[in-house]
Amino acid sequence: MLPLPYNITDTDKEFGELLKGKLKEFSATFAINLENQEKVLQYFRVSLEHCNANNLPKSKAIWNIASYVSIISFDLKVIVKNMTFAVLEWEKRYFARQAALLIHEACDGLLNLLGKQFREILKDLPDSDSLKSDLNIIAKRLNDYKVTHKPNLNTIRNFSIAHRDMEVLSQIEIICAISWVDAINFSSEFDRILNDLGSFMKKFLTSGYFD
């Protein structure tokens, strides 16, 4: 019987060959990154508990956004790690679909969180003009990413992970059409935005007293 008609591009094959000699290096990098993500999330958890205990609603709102960004970044790194080291073609595309679902939901969630309420807190800080400029740059990158990738993410999410289309042949076709390296690339691009947003939140959190 013939195998499923996976879209295995030349770039997929080249990356697969490259990966064979880099497994140890990549594994060590992922391990360090994931350990750091967990430490950051624990720090945020303690900070949120402090806000709750001391009735600091504005501070809690900011720490909550920072924690949300951290969770998305943590989850995405775990997905990309598993997608990178996956051997079976279906397995690669399973993690690609999980990445598409996470990013699809996170795009809108982040843009909403960084909206009016967040900017109201920002405007009262000493360095508000600089922070607003940085925020506008990141918001534009999120919007640009959404415009570029949302159609593809939406197709993958709706038809092959959320199972909105019960026509199984269509689902199989969409899943098989996913390129392994393309999925790693669109995931890594979004994670770079998350990393820069995390750096912005760190700057924001040290810029003043909110409550």
148 within domain boundaries: yes
Residue with tokens 């990356």: 15
3 within domain boundaries: no
* Cβ–Cβ under 8 Å, residues 156 and 178: yes
42-96 confidence digits (pLDDT tens)? 999 999 999 999 999 888 988 999 999 999 999 999 999 999 999 999 999 999 9
Of 31, 115, 37, residue with least CA distance to 72:
37
* pTM exceeding 0.85: yes
Phi, psi of 126 (to 5 degrees): -60, -35
5 within domain boundaries: no
Quote the number of domains for the chain: 1
164-190 confidence digits (pLDDT tens)? 556 888 889 999 999 999 999 999 999
Full domain range(s) for residue 103: 12-205
